[in-house]
Copies of this chain bind each other. A is one copy, B any other.
Amino acid sequence: MEKSGRQVKDVLYAQVARIGKAVCSPKRLELIELLCQGEKPVERLASEAGISLKLASAHLKELRLAHLVEARKEGKNVYYRLTGEAVADFWVAIRSLAEDRLLELRAAMAKLAEHVHELTPLSRKELLAQARRGEVMVLDVRPEAEFQAGHLPYARSMPLEELRKRLADLPHDKPVVAYCRGPFCLMAVEAVELLRKEGFSAIRLEDGVAEWRALGLPVESS
């Protein structure tokens, strides 16, 4: 009984460790975060994560073996997606734990947004209410495909690359709130820096869609 108990336990913990192995590589974590923004083909994942296509393929295979992602073939492309919202929730959970426990991480993040005071004075629900009443404008600065896969309520899609050309669409009489893929993403920071230079009242929302949803708040999709 003792021996068989140990054998059974070894199997159980080994299975959980498969999830751990899947998330012990920085690149795989980055891929998971990218997939939190919606399904994408391998090539896009590779370029957005800054790695070669082959390496991305290898990492995605690992993630597939751990059943965290699955693939769909369409024509010449293979589109990857998370196997469920639970995976996005897990990404939020492990990132939160790291932020909580690792001072080095908090330091790096603080440096990231040195000049952007992102601390929203208003709570998330209050932001939602103000957006509904049109008192603030919420900007989604991610690529448009990601916006369409899912976005915050009342948000407008305005990818970072187009932002400079479309400044005329933005209001000067109320605050602009920009968000992107999440706390590790630089796009909203850049957007806020640009907008402030141009005289807008802009603040950054650290949340991405995954964080927003994990908190139980509503998410829309086109």
A binding-site residues for B, Cβ under 8 Å: 1, 5-6, 8-27, 29-30, 50, 66-68, 83-84, 86-87, 89-90, 93-98, 100-102, 104-105, 108-109, 111-112, 184, 186, 190
Determine chain A's interface SS by DSSP, over half rule: helix
Q: Inside 8 A of A105's CB, which chain B residues have their CB?
A: 12, 15-16
Q: Inside 8 A of A21's CB, which chain B residues have their CB?
A: 24
- The copy count of this chain in the complex is 2
Q: How far is the CB of A29 from chain B (nearest CB, A)?
A: 5
CA distance A1 to B89 in the complex (A): 30
Given contacts A13-B29, A29-B13, A93-B90, contact A112 B18 (CB under 8 A): no
Q: Inside 8 A of A101's CB, which chain B residues have their CB?
A: 19, 66-68, 83-84, 86-87
Q: How far is the CB of A6 from chain B (nearest CB, A)?
A: 5
Q: List 25 A-B contacts (CB under 8 A).
A: A1-B190, A5-B186, A8-B112, A12-B105, A12-B108, A13-B26, A13-B27, A13-B29, A16-B95, A16-B98, A16-B105, A17-B25, A17-B26, A18-B98, A18-B102, A19-B97, A19-B98, A19-B102, A20-B24, A24-B24, A67-B102, A86-B97, A87-B97, A87-B101, A90-B94
> Are the C-beta atoms of A98 and B26 separated by less than 8 Å?
no
CA distance A68 to B97 in the complex (A): 9
Identify 14 new A-B residue pairs, CB closer than 8 A, beyond the known A17-B25, A23-B23: A9-B186, A12-B108, A12-B184, A13-B26, A15-B104, A16-B95, A16-B105, A17-B26, A19-B23, A20-B24, A20-B25, A23-B24, A83-B101, A90-B97
